[in-house]
Structure 1
C-alpha cells in the first residue's frame, strides 16, 4: 500500500463499525490523504481494527499524529496514531514538526492605561479610586442622563 512509509500514519484501536468515509473526513483535516487503507478479514470481510493513511508529505503525516493522538474518539474508542513502521517515540527521537503555514501575526496586547499615564490635572479621585475611565459595573447607562448631565 504505502509508497512512502514516512508519509504513512498507522491508525489503531479502530472500531469495525467506523465507515471509511468518516475516517477519511477526519484525516483530511490536516492535509491531502493520498491513500487510505483499512484492512479486512478475508473470511468475514470485517475491518481488522486498524488503518493506514498516506499523506502527501512526511511533515503532514507527523503533524497528523501530533494533532490527533488522544483526541479522536469513535464508538467509545480513542484512536491511536503513529507514523507507520515506527515504534513508540523514544526520548532521543525527534519530535513531530508542525507544518509551516502562512504565519499569522500574534495579536498585540491591549495597552492598559495607568493613572501615571495621564496628567494629575485630569485625574479625579472618588472613594479612593481614580474616576473618569469608563463606566463602572455598578453604573447603568442612561442616554437621557448622559445628554443632560443628570444622573
Structure 2
C-alpha cells in the first residue's frame, strides 16, 4: 500500500530516515510557495508514479515550511520521469525546481564548501548535520568555530558537500532561514562556485498538470490517488 510520511517527523527524515530513504528514487523539490502543502505536492507528483512518502521541512520557530521538499518514489524510473515532466513547471505562477537527491560518485564535484554565519549559540554540529544533510552527501562533518578558552560558539561554521548540486540546493533553501532563534547566512567558502547553468524555464502552466498532459510513458500500474489514511498537515 502506498504510504506517506506524516507531518511533524522532520527530525527522523533529516536524521536517521535520510539514510533509510532510497536516494536513487528520491527527488528534491525547491522553490515552493508558502501556501503549498504536502497534500498538494503529493497530488501533483503522484501523477508521475507511485510515491512512498512526501515531506516538506518546517522551521522549528515559525512553523512555516522552508520552501523545499522531498518526494520518494517506488522506483528510480519514476523519479527520473518526475524530473523530466515537472522540473520548472509553475505552481501559483512560480516555477519549481526538481532535481535528483542521489549523487553519482563517478562525477563528484570537489570543493563544495559552505560558510554558515550568524549561528545561534545553541546550534551545535548535530543540528547543522541534521539540517544540511537533507540536501545531499556530506563530504566532511560540520565544524562550528569556537572560542579556544571558553568553548563557546563564535557564531559561524563550515560544512562540505560531495557535489555542487547539493551545496547549491542548500544555499538556495537555507539562506535567510532560522535555526533556533537566528536567521542564518549560507554562502560558498574559500572557492568560487563554477559558473551555473542558465535556468530552464518552461511555458507549461500550473496547475493544470494532468496525466494526459505528460509525455507518454510505459507503465504497468494505474495512477493511484493519495490514500485516505494520510493525515493532513
Structure 2 length-normalised TM: 0.37
Over alpha carbons, which structure has the higher Rg? 1
CA–CA separation in structure 2 for the residues paired with 1:5 and 1:42: 25
Moved >6 Å (runs of 4+): none
Decide whether the 8 Å contact of 1:9 with 1:84 is kept in 2.
Answer: yes
Residue from 46, 52, 64 that aligns with 2:70: 52
In structure 1, the partner of 2:99 is 82
Unaligned runs of 5+ in 2: 1-12, 104-164, 167-215, 221-233
SS in 2 for 1:51: strand
Task: Looking at secondary structure, tell me which structure has more strand per residue.
Answer: 2
In structure 2, the partner of 1:32 is 50
CA–CA separation in structure 1 for the residues paired with 2:76 and 2:217: 10
Task: Looking at secondary structure, tell me which structure has more helix per residue.
Answer: 2
Unaligned runs of 5+ in 1: 89-97, 103-151
CA–CA separation in structure 2 for the residues paired with 1:29 and 1:84: 19
Residue from 209, 215, 219 that aligns with 1:101: 219
Q: How many residues align?
A: 92
CA–CA separation in structure 2 for the residues paired with 1:6 and 1:99: 19
Instruction: Find out whether 1:22 has 2:40 as its counterpart.
Output: yes
Residue from 64, 88, 98 that aligns with 1:70: 88
Deviation at 1:20, TM superposition (A): 1.7
Deviation at 1:99, TM superposition (A): 5.5
